[in-house]
Amino acid sequence: MYKAKAYAAPGATSPLAATTIERRDPKETDVQIEILFCGICHSDVHQARNEWSGVMPTVYPCVPGHEIVGRVTKVGSAVKKFKPGDLAAVGCMVDSDRTCPECKAGLEQFCPNFVLTYNFPDKDTGKVTYGGYSDSIVVDEHFVLRVPENLNLAGAAPLLCAGITTYSPMKHWRVGKGKKVGVVGLGGLGHMGVKFAHALGAHTVVFTTSPNKKDDALKLGADEVVMSKDANEMNKHAGSFDFILDAVAAEHDLNAYINLLARDGNLTMVGAPEKPLPVAVFGLLFRRRSFSGSLIGGIAETQEMLDFCGEHNITSDVEVIPIQKVNEAYDRVVKSDVKYRFSIDMASLKAE
C-alpha cells in the first residue's frame, strides 16, 4: 500500500477537504496512473451528499470522481497494453466478474458484480474504492482506456461518463446519416449528445426550455432548435423522429416526446428523474414506438467512443478549476451554472 493525496467528503453535510488515502501497490495486471484531470459529474454531488442513501448509501470518507484522465507511471509484470508515459483514462468501473454473460458480451456495465470507481466495496483494501479526486489511482489493465494524443485532456475527462452515456445509446439505436435525432436538454449530457449526433451524420434537433441556449445548440452542431414549451413548434415535428435522447433529470412530460417519434422510433432516457414519470401506453402502441433507458457502456465501446472522439476531435466543453474550488463547483452544478462540465486540474492538489 502507498499513500496518495486526495479530496474527500468526510460526511453528508461536510464540505470536501484535503486528506490522505491508501492505494494498493500495482499487482501484475495493474496500471498505476498519475491523475491529470478529473471531471465532476452530478452523480458525484449525489454520492458525496448521500442523496442516494436508499439505493447506494455513501461510506465516508468518500473520494468521488469517475471521469479520470492521466499518465501511466507504473505497470505490473503482466500488463500488455500500457507502458509508463502513456496517456490513460478510467471511467465509472474498475472491475467486474468477467465470467457472466454480460461481461462476455462486452457489457460490463450490466455485470451483477461490477465494481464502481468509488464508494464500492474494495476487495483489495477491505474498505471502499476511492475515485479520481486524487493524485493517482491503481486499476486493472482491463478497465484502463487509451486516450488519443490529439485530444485536450481537460475536455477529454468528461468523455468517460458524459461521453459514453450519450454515445452508447446512439450506437445501439443506429444513429447515422439519414436519421432524424432529437436531444432533450442542453446540459452536461445533452451537449455531448448533440456533438455525437452531428458527428454521426444525423439531422440533429435540440429541445430546450431556454431560448438563450439556441445559439449554443447551433454552435455545438444542432441543425434545428425547438422550444419545448411551444406547442406549435412541437407539433411541426410530430411523428418524424427516428431517435430521441432524453438527458433531463427534472420532471417533464415524456409523452410530448413519444408523440414526436416516427414508426419504430425510440426514446431513450439517460437523465434520471427522482420521481416516476407517467407514460401513456397508447403513444407507444400505435406506431410501434419504444421507450428505454441506457447506462454508460462497456469497456470496448468506451474505447470505441474515445477513438471516435480522437478522429472527430470531440471533447466536452469544460470550465477548468483547481481542486480547492470543488465545493463551489458542486453548488454550481446543482444550479446548472456551468457550460457544460467542470474539469479539475489535479496539479492543484500538489499545493495541499
The whole-angstrom separation of Cα 44 and Cα 30 is: 25
Q: Identify whether the C-beta of residue 339 lies closer than 8 Å to the C-beta of residue 317.
A: yes
pLDDT tens by residue, 226-271: 999 999 999 999 999 999 999 998 899 999 999 999 999 999 999 9
Rg of the chain over Cα atoms, rounded to whole angstroms, equals: 20
Count of residues making up the chain: 352
- Whether residue 309 lies inside any domain: the answer is no
Q: Are residues 255 and 120 in the same domain?
A: no
CATH at 97: 3.90.180.10
Query: What is the value of pTM for the model shown?
Result: 0.95
246's CB contacts (< 8 A; 6+ apart) are: 184, 185, 254, 257, 267, 268, 269, 270, 271
In this model, does residue 124 exceed pLDDT 90?
Answer: no
Which single residue is written with the C-alpha cell 454515445?
Answer: 167
Predicted local confidence at residue 352, as pLDDT: 83
Q: Are residues 95 and 142 in the same domain?
A: yes
% of the chain with per-residue pLDDT over 90: 93
Angle between the N-to-C axes of helices 188-199 and 162-172, in degrees from 0 to 180, rounded to the nearest 10:
40
37's CB contacts (< 8 A; 6+ apart) are: 68, 69, 70, 153, 154, 156, 157, 320, 343, 344, 345, 346
In this model, does residue 161 exceed pLDDT 90?
Answer: yes
% of the chain with per-residue pLDDT over 70: 100
Rounded mean pLDDT, 19-29: 96
Q: Are residues 155 and 12 in the same domain?
A: yes
3-state secondary structure at position 80: coil
Predicted local confidence at residue 232, as pLDDT: 94
Report the number of distinct structural domains present in the chain: 2
CB atoms within 10 A of CB 219: 10
The whole-angstrom separation of Cα 321 and Cα 133 is: 12
Rounded mean pLDDT, 24-38: 97
Segments forming the whole domain that contains residue 246? 163-293
For the chain, the average pLDDT equals 96
- Whether residue 312 lies inside any domain: the answer is no
Phi-psi region of 132 (alpha: psi -120 to 50; beta: other; left: phi over 0): alpha
Q: Are residues 246 and 257 in the same domain?
A: yes
